[in-house]
Amino acid sequence: MVMASDDLTITGELTDYIRRVTVREPEVLRRLREETTSLPNAQMQISPEQGQFMGLLMHLISARRTLEIGVFTGYSSLSVALALPDDGHIIACDVSEEWTAIARRYWREAGVERKIDLRLRPALQTLDDLIALGQGGSFDFAFIDADKENYANYFERALVLLRPLGLIAVDNVLWSGRVIDKSVKDADTRAIRALNEKLKTDERVWLTMLPIRDGLTLACKKA
């Protein structure tokens, strides 16, 4: 017997409703989101409900030191920075001066620029340097939202850098549904599929995948 699915399809109208009744988006974040919407790569920006969720996570885990791998125009880093305490700190990794110039402008306007250390170089170099400097086990949270072929590499470094019970959030794990389309075999899709399968059996973390926006995996490092 085929059971009917009880999953709810999130339509545009439901998305509008969710945002209307739950999202408390500061004005500076709203303007950043709207400016980014006009850019060619606007789909790379996280949604306001995801940004708010990440801010909530910062409060729940009492985060002070965080990593961001992939900045784009800075919506996710600004969401996190606004939720961090005054002594909170983000090491943000990206390679684009163009997109992060927008991020810097809004960080400055929001008064959180001092919390964010932007490293404009390949993220693996920054992460490896942090590990070499003995900073393993010193971060509370890491957000991975960069080039997909390196997702597994970013995850491994982030896991080393996180403290026990620290949290990794991995974006785009549903990849607009392409992860289940067997006809799609490009390198990015294969990399995301491989990471998803790997994490299913990774006993170093507790795991859940949320169907928020384009899919968000949360992995908590075991003590």
User: What is the CATH classification number for the domain harbouring 185?
Assistant: 3.40.50.150
Cα angle value 28/32/34 (rounded, 5°):
115
Domain that holds residue 104: 22-221
Is residue 172 assigned to a domain? yes
Do the domain assignments include residue 6? Answer: no
Tens digit of pLDDT at every position of the chain (223 positions)? 444 566 778 899 999 999 999 999 999 999 999 999 999 899 999 999 999 999 999 999 999 999 999 999 999 999 999 999 999 999 999 999 999 999 999 999 999 999 999 999 999 999 999 999 999 999 999 999 999 999 999 999 999 999 999 999 999 999 999 999 999 999 999 999 999 999 999 999 999 999 998 999 999 999 9
Closest CA to 92 of 48, 146, 133, 41: 146
CA angle, 2 as apex, 212 and 15 as ends, to 5°? 20
Q: Can you tell me the distance from the alpha carbon of 179 to that of 86, in angstroms, rounded to the nearest whole number?
A: 39
212 domain residue, yes or no? yes
**Joined tokens for residue 29:** 């974040």
Nearest to 33 by CA among 178, 211, 213: 213
**Three-class SS of residue 14?**
helix
